[in-house]
Structure 1
């Protein structure tokens, strides 16, 4: 088993492509987008992901692109600080980095030894004991020894092999929209958060350009994940009339060329594989609200690549057993994080702000 197809050129897919090629596999990556996706909120590289990026030789590049945020300031509608929290000090070489920068570095490292097909996607999968026949939207059909779906929460591979999305994806009632601020901010070390019940607007210093995030509780109708105009209307209606800099941020949102929008969801499957088809990253187990999912994706890709190199098809079960343990530890605090980040009620917001003022200020 040497010829592998990966669906998805994001963080999990590019990391896996690198390590499979490193271990002697012939790797092809197919990605629906026309290029490496930009945008998205800052993410963390920590814990089990650190030795992986170090072994890939990209740690220095990633650190150069890391944000410099040191504090979180909670603001009222007039922009006055309600509380200030020091962000946890990084342990060792842990860092936060814009998602697009992380994805770009991983792709540029992987593409030296793996083939990438952009602006295409899988439309059909048929497997037998010896391989998988794959039909693409644009490319000529091919046969692979193994297919790995690293194509996110709305995975095409999962839908084709395991069944419809609603069987495995459970929205939490929280939605996220992110975009570039379009220029540098004047608070390079502070993340600014403004809340009303069920609503959060955030301005992150990021690097060269600040980042904007709208995180809110809602139950919108069915959403086409590719309908950016609809996404902008949903966010505008949700935040209409709020204070602080929200009117300015909404104006930038309406003029933005690229906006990420999606529901925060939990993905649950009884198994991450069917024969020679395997799921990785958010396609298998989306659990993150604050960026930890990227570290899990990197660690999971490394675990899968190593297991396949050692035991081929037999390594798939070992990968799932080992990585499910990491996923379980990240999933437990998700409800508490959501309650603190986006309190549902005015009373909940008051309690959160009081707790923030009492929290130790040292990192």
Structure 2
């Protein structure tokens, strides 16, 4: 039975672990956080990714916790409504679509609970070194003793440690898209009832949606910026102060939003960037999801790429003759690259706004699971 270390316990990693177990592999998931990560924005599961969820046995559960917005308002910088829709929202698209939108932490919880009984999880740890030879990869961890695995998969996000160790510095592959995104939770001080609000003020703007039966808000605040210096761009405290300052400058509800960002335990901020690589594997190491082909939240397709990539990678490994990982990784890239290209293009099709419905429709179905 082949052993596979998966770095990253978010969405892609556990879904890959599920399918590897189904195919007779023995996966281990290592996650830097001490447990499941809380918070995060609402994410979309679209097109062929819905079929992955169905085959994984989680579509019904995911559908039961989907967001159920009635519509949205678009405001001017003073807070006056200039547009409203009961047909679509910027975050999820058409409300009558079969696609679903769920909170990221709800989806992470579902895939973890679905896999925790038959997948080994190593929380509060991370990979520190990879040593590959003809028989496997010896992995050094920050906390656990070193172990040898047949394969290593990096599913550890935009700032992937596995990618850095196996392929080199992030700067070689990261392409900044001109902005940063902050996401945080707050009490529903606006009294929103299944209704989103969107506002743009200069080079900054936000979307606000109620969650948890309208008891909480999730705020997604974006602002234009060149890449920040590493010391600031990776310092969450410094990023929080930067975001608080920018929120305080907004003309509508800036003070209350700034205070919410200052207090939020789930505060997040990072660059809007894409990862573009000529290859997603090297030897016995391969990359999955944002680690190999992050499309950025501007595409709305990061979660769907992660789900589909996990399924296809596991399928390619299972079909490879005599456990030939080189053939498996080549097949994975052949099948996934057109799908990734179509979905990454959504982020840059309409700078400052969403991609067209026609482009999203094409991109979300641009692959067959039964290749």
Q: Is TM > 0.5 for Structure 1 vs Structure 2?
A: yes
State the partner residue of 2:260: 252
Offset at residue 70 of structure 1 (A)? 3.6
CA distance in 2: counterparts of 1:225 and 1:135, whole angstroms: 27
CA distance in 1: counterparts of 2:107 and 2:277, whole angstroms: 27
Offset at residue 91 of structure 1 (A)? 6.6
1:129 is aligned to 2:134: yes
Deviation by residue 1:233-276 (Cα, 9 ceiling, x = unmatched): 11122233211112101101111122111001111111000010
CA distance in 2: counterparts of 1:301 and 1:340, whole angstroms: 29
Alpha carbons 1:66, 1:207 under 8 Å: kept = no
CA distance in 2: counterparts of 1:185 and 1:60, whole angstroms: 31
- TM (normalized to structure 1)? 0.89
1:112 is aligned to 2:112: no
CA distance in 1: counterparts of 2:97 and 2:253, whole angstroms: 36
CA distance in 2: counterparts of 1:322 and 1:334, whole angstroms: 21
State the partner residue of 2:14: 14
CA distance in 2: counterparts of 1:241 and 1:264, whole angstroms: 21
Deviation by residue 1:77-109 (Cα, 9 ceiling, x = unmatched): 332211123314357642100111111101111
Alpha carbons 1:184, 1:205 under 8 Å: kept = no
- TM (normalized to structure 2)? 0.88
| Alignment gaps of 5+ in structure 1 | 342-363
- Of residues 178, 196, 200 in structure 2, which corresponds to 1:195? 200
1:186 is aligned to 2:191: yes
1:89 is aligned to 2:94: yes
- Of residues 173, 186, 193 in structure 1, which corresponds to 2:178? 173
- Three-state SS of the structure 1 residue aligned to 2:78 is coil
State the partner residue of 1:288: 296
1:308 is aligned to 2:321: no
1:229 is aligned to 2:242: no
- Of residues 332, 346, 353 in structure 2, which corresponds to 1:333? 346
1:100 is aligned to 2:105: yes
- Of residues 283, 299, 303 in structure 1, which corresponds to 2:308? 299
| Alignment gaps of 5+ in structure 2 | 355-371
- Three-state SS of the structure 2 residue aligned to 1:205 is strand
Corresponding pairs, count:
341
CA distance in 1: counterparts of 2:198 and 2:94, whole angstroms: 20
Offset at residue 224 of structure 1 (A)? 5.3
Alpha carbons 1:172, 1:264 under 8 Å: kept = yes
Offset at residue 63 of structure 1 (A)? 1.2
State the partner residue of 1:51: 51
State the partner residue of 2:278: 270
Alpha carbons 1:8, 1:151 under 8 Å: kept = yes
CA distance in 2: counterparts of 1:306 and 1:36, whole angstroms: 26
